[in-house]
């Protein structure tokens, strides 16, 4: 009697099935997102025109602003679906990693100021990295936004860059929020997994982040303990000498 360990084969089969399912879900998501985006654009444009009207009663202004905010939120959700559905061409160039981080933070200063969250930067001098700056910026924005949402009102977010070892650069994004349970940490990079309320997220943010970082030959991971804050790490290879 011959007993053969088929664990590796089963794992590979499961991954293949999952990949095929994700492709089909991606196609479906793209179609749904496009169908939703078209009427959203009309609603958004009409709302902006109405807000330009003079002498509107306060309650009408409030309702129009609420419509505009909810429309923007839906656009964010459909944007996540579109990012998931298409891999997109990667435009990797020699880039200053720190400048990419700073560009991302400039877009988030209003949100952190509004919620009275302090942003701390400790960016060390780094060698150039061959990367798609827009995609890495998307990763940084996602991680900082997650930290903002975890903190709610008030708190601290610290971003550090450094060289953990030769030919590698690393970014850490740390917050002093409530932390993440081990159970959630095990699943948080899975597609469509979310702990947010219904309608507040697609569960694709961290999955897309991991895909982007992997496409750059890098790694992303999280360190957290309940009640002790959370730190996300991104590690990327530096550009090879020509």
Would residue 126 count as lying in a domain?
Answer: yes
Strands 168-175, 93-95: pairing is unpaired
Same domain, 157 and 222: yes
Domain hosting 101: range is 93-237
What is the model's pLDDT at position 99? 95
Q: Could you give the 3-state DSSP secondary structure of residue 50?
A: helix
Q: Where are the alpha helices (DSSP H) in 115-215?
A: 133-151, 182-187, 205-215
pLDDT in tens, 182-215: 998 898 888 777 776 665 566 778 888 898 899 8
Cα→Cα distances 230→9, 78, 133, 142, Å: 35, 27, 25, 14
Same domain, 102 and 70: no
Rounded (10°) angle between helices 205-215 and 133-151: 150
Q: What is the mean pLDDT of residues 70-95?
A: 69
What is the model's pLDDT at position 120? 94
Structural domain ending residue among the three candidates 31, 54, 85? 85
Same domain, 117 and 196: yes
Would residue 2 count as lying in a domain?
Answer: no
Q: What is the mean pLDDT of residues 102-116?
A: 87
Same domain, 32 and 52: yes
Q: What is the mean pLDDT of residues 47-52?
A: 88
What is the model's pLDDT at position 199? 54
Question: Which residue, 82, 168, 158, is CA-closest to 120?
Answer: 158
Would residue 56 count as lying in a domain?
Answer: yes
CA distance 77 to 68: 14
20-24, 38-42, 107-111, 168-172 — which one is most confidently predicted on average?
Answer: 168-172
Q: Could you give the 3-state DSSP secondary structure of residue 216?
A: coil
Q: What is the mean pLDDT of residues 9-16?
A: 55
CA distance 148 to 117: 8
Cβ–Cβ under 8 Å, residues 216 and 107: no
Same domain, 117 and 206: yes
Cα→Cα distances 146→31, 118, 126, 179, Å: 27, 15, 25, 11
**How sure is the predictor about 54, in pLDDT bands with cuts at 50, 70 and 90?**
confident
Would residue 242 count as lying in a domain?
Answer: no
Would residue 185 count as lying in a domain?
Answer: yes
Structural domain ending residue among the three candidates 67, 85, 103? 85
pLDDT value at 90 more than 80: no
Same domain, 97 and 81: no
| 155 C-beta neighbours (distance < 10 Å), count | 19
Structural domain ending residue among the three candidates 85, 114, 133? 85
What is the model's pLDDT at position 162? 96
Number of domains in the chain: 2
pLDDT value at 51 more than 70: yes
Same domain, 116 and 160: yes
Same domain, 77 and 110: no
Same domain, 98 and 80: no
Would residue 186 count as lying in a domain?
Answer: yes
Residue for token digits 């303990």?
225
Element (H, E) at 158: strand 155-162
**How sure is the predictor about 242, in pLDDT bands with cuts at 50, 70 and 90?**
very low
- Does this model's pTM top 0.75? My answer is no
List strands edge to edge, sheet with 117-123: 117-123, 155-162, 168-175, 230-237, 219-224
CA distance 155 to 116: 7
Same domain, 38 and 150: no
| CATH code where residue 26 lies | 1.10.287.130
Same domain, 80 and 98: no
pLDDT value at 63 more than 60: yes
Same domain, 106 and 225: yes
| CATH code where residue 215 lies | 3.30.565.10
Would residue 189 count as lying in a domain?
Answer: yes
Would residue 69 count as lying in a domain?
Answer: yes
């Amino acid at each position: 009697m011959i007993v053969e360990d088929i664990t590796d084969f089963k794992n590979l089969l499961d991954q293949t099935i999952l990949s095929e399912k994700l492709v089909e879900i991606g196609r479906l998501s793209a179609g749904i997102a496009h169908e939703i985006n078209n009427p959203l654009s009309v609603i958004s444009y009409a709302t902006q025109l109405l807000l330009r009207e003079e002498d509107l009663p306060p309650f009408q202004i409030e309702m129009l602003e609420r419509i505009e905010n909810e429309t923007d939120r839906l656009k964010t959700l459909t944007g996540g679906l579109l990012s998931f559905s298409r891999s997109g061409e990667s435009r990797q160039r020699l880039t200053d990693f720190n400048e990419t981080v700073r560009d991302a933070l400039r877009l988030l200063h209003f949100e952190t100021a509004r919620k009275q969250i302090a942003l701390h930067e400790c960016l060390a001098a780094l060698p150039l990295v061959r990367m798609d700056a827009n995609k890495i910026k998307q990763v940084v924005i996602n991680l900082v936004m997650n930290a903002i949402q975890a903190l709610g009102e008030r708190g601290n977010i610290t971003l550090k860059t450094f060289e953990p070892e030769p030919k590698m650069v690393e970014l850490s994004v740390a917050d002093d929020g409530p932390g993440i349970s081990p159970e959630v940490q095990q699943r948080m990079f899975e597609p469509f997994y979310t702990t947010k309320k219904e309608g507040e997220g697609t569960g694709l943010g961290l999955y897309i982040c991991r895909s982007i970082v992997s496409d750059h030959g890098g790694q992303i991971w999280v360190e957290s303990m309940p009640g002790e804050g959370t730190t996300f790490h991104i590690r990327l290879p530096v550009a090879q000498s020509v």
